[in-house]
C-alpha cells in the first residue's frame, strides 16, 4: 500500500477515535512481544502486548477496538493489515506466520486515544519522559488543577529473528528500514545480530521526520537494568547493549496543538522490542 493511502486511512480512524475522552490517566507504554522465541520458518508466532519494560512488565489485553494498522515486512515484501484484532473475542494475542528466514519486522500503529489529564499529571509525565527543554518549559506553565484533553499517538515495532544453526547470524537490512509509522525508533544496525557489548545507533521519527532533543530509555526485560542513551545529532544517537535477552526501547514526545478540535496536547510514543543472543552476532 502506498504511504499516502495508508496515512489517509490512519487519519480517518484518528477522527473517529478522537470523538470522546477514553480515560482520565497518563497513557500506559505498551511493547509488542512474541512467542515462541526464534521460530522456525513456516511457524506462527503469537503477538502480545506488554505494559512496562522491565521485570515488572505485565501482559496487557489487545484493544477491544483493534489496532489501526499492522505491517509485516519480510524478505522482499510487506503485508498491510487494518483493523487488526484477535480471531476470537476475549483473546489477547494475534497470530502472524513467519514465512521468511532471518528477520521479520512487525509494526503497529494503535488507534489514537483522547484522555483527560490534569495539568499536574501532564507536567509530571513530560518531566519524566520528554527530553526537549522547550516542551518541558512550556509544560511548567500548565495550570495544575485544570483538566486538559490529550491525544495519545502510539506505535510499536518488534523484530522477530528465525532459528538458525549459525552462531553468527548475518545482519538483516530490513531490520534497519524505515517503516513510516506515526512514531518510530529506527535502528541503524540489526540489533538481533549484535554481540553483547555493542553500541546500537537509533534515530527517532515523528510523522516521518527526525525528532531532535530526545530522551530514549532502553531496558533489558530480564534484568530490568537500563542503558544510557547518548544523543549525537538530529534525533540520532546510541546506547550500549550491555546484556543478552529481551530489550525494550521507548521514546516519547509531547507538544501543544492548536489545530485539533478535540485535544490541546498530543503525546507521541514509539517502542521497539528485540532479543539479543547470549553469544555470537556481529561486534
**281 lies in a domain?**
no
- Residue 46 predicted with pLDDT over 90: yes
pLDDT of residue 279: 73
pLDDT of residue 74: 97
The angle formed by the CA atoms of residues 89, 74 and 181, to the nearest 5 degrees, is: 65
- The percent of residues in the chain predicted with pLDDT above 70, rounded, is 91
CA torsion angle 34 73 70 212 (round to 10): 90
pLDDT of residue 143: 98
**283 lies in a domain?**
no
Give the model's confidence band at 2: pLDDT under 50 very low, under 70 low, under 90 confident, else very high.
very low
**119 lies in a domain?**
yes
Count CB neighbours of 103 within 10 A.
26
The predicted model gives 7-28 an average pLDDT of 55
pLDDT of residue 21: 60
Q: What is the mean pLDDT of the chain?
A: 90
Give the model's confidence band at 9: pLDDT under 50 very low, under 70 low, under 90 confident, else very high.
very low
- Residue 65 predicted with pLDDT over 90: no
* Residue reference for cell 527543554: 133
Phi, psi of 255 (to 5 degrees): -155, 145
**143 lies in a domain?**
yes
Structural domain count of the chain: 1
> Which residues form the domain of 16?
3-276
Alpha-carbon distance of 265 to 254, in angstroms, equals: 7
- Taking only the tens place, the pLDDT of each residue in 84-113 is 999 998 899 999 999 999 999 999 999 999
**206 lies in a domain?**
yes
Give the model's confidence band at 6: pLDDT under 50 very low, under 70 low, under 90 confident, else very high.
very low
Q: Where are the alpha helices (DSSP H) in 130-265?
A: 133-139
Confidence (pTM): 0.91
Alpha-carbon distance of 116 to 165, in angstroms, equals: 51
User: Is residue 49 within 8 Å of 75, Cβ to Cβ?
Assistant: no
**213 lies in a domain?**
yes
pLDDT of residue 22: 56
User: Is residue 72 within 8 Å of 91, Cβ to Cβ?
Assistant: no
- Taking only the tens place, the pLDDT of each residue in 249-279 is 999 999 999 888 899 999 999 999 999 988 7
Q: Which of 220, 195, 190, 197 is nearest to 102 (CA)?
A: 190
User: Is residue 69 within 8 Å of 109, Cβ to Cβ?
Assistant: yes
Distance of CA 1 to the CA centre of its chain: 21
pLDDT of residue 280: 67
Beta bridge partners of 135: none
- Taking only the tens place, the pLDDT of each residue in 197-229 is 999 999 999 999 999 999 999 999 999 999 989
Of 234 and 135, the structure prediction assigns the larger pLDDT to 135
Alpha-carbon distance of 27 to 216, in angstroms, equals: 17
**66 lies in a domain?**
yes
The predicted model gives 30-34 an average pLDDT of 97
Count CB neighbours of 126 within 10 A.
24
Amino acid at each position: 500500500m502506498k504511504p499516502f493511502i495508508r496515512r489517509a486511512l490512519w487519519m480517518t480512524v484518528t477522527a473517529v477515535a478522537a470523538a470522546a475522552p477514553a480515560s482520565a490517566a497518563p497513557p500506559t507504554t505498551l511493547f509488542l512481544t512474541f512467542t515462541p522465541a526464534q521460530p522456525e520458518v513456516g511457524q506462527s508466532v503469537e503477538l502480545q502486548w506488554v505494559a512496562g519494560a522491565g521485570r515488572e512488565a505485565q501482559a496487557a489485553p489487545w484493544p477491544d477496538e483493534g489496532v489501526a494498522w499492522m505491517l509485516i515486512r519480510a524478505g522482499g515484501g510487506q503485508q498491510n493489515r487494518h483493523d487488526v484484532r484477535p480471531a476470537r473475542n476475549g483473546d489477547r494475542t494475534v497470530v502472524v506466520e513467519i514465512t521468511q528466514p532471518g528477520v521479520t519486522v512487525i509494526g503497529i500503529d494503535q488507534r489514537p486515544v483522547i484522555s483527560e489529564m490534569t495539568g499536574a499529571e501532564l507536567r509530571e509525565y513530560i518531566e519524566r519522559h520528554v527530553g526537549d527543554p522547550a516542551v518541558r518549559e512550556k509544560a511548567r506553565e500548565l495550570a495544575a488543577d485544570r483538566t486538559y484533553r490529550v491525544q495519545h499517538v502510539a506505535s510499536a515495532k518488534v523484530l522477530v529473528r528465525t532459528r538458525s544453526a549459525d552462531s553468527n547470524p548475518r545482519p538483516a537490512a530490513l531490520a534497519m528500514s524505515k517503516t513510516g509509522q506515526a512514531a518510530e525508533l529506527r535502528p541503524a544496525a540489526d540489533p538481533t545480530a549484535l554481540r553483547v557489548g555493542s553500541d546500537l545507533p537509533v534515530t527517532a521519527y515523528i510523522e516521518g521526520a527526525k525528532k531532535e532533543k530526545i530522551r530514549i530509555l532502553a531496558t533489558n526485560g530480564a534484568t530490568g537494568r537500563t542503558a544510557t542513551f547518548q544523543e549525537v545529532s538530529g534525533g540520532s544517537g546510541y546506547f550500549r547493549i550491555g546484556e543478552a535477552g529481551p530489550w525494550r526501547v521507548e521514546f516519547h514526545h509531547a507538544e501543544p496543538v492548536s489545530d485539533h478540535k478535540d485535544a490541546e496536547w498530543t503525546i507521541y510514543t514509539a517502542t521497539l522490542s528485540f532479543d539479543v543472543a547470549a553469544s555470537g552476532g556481529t561486534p
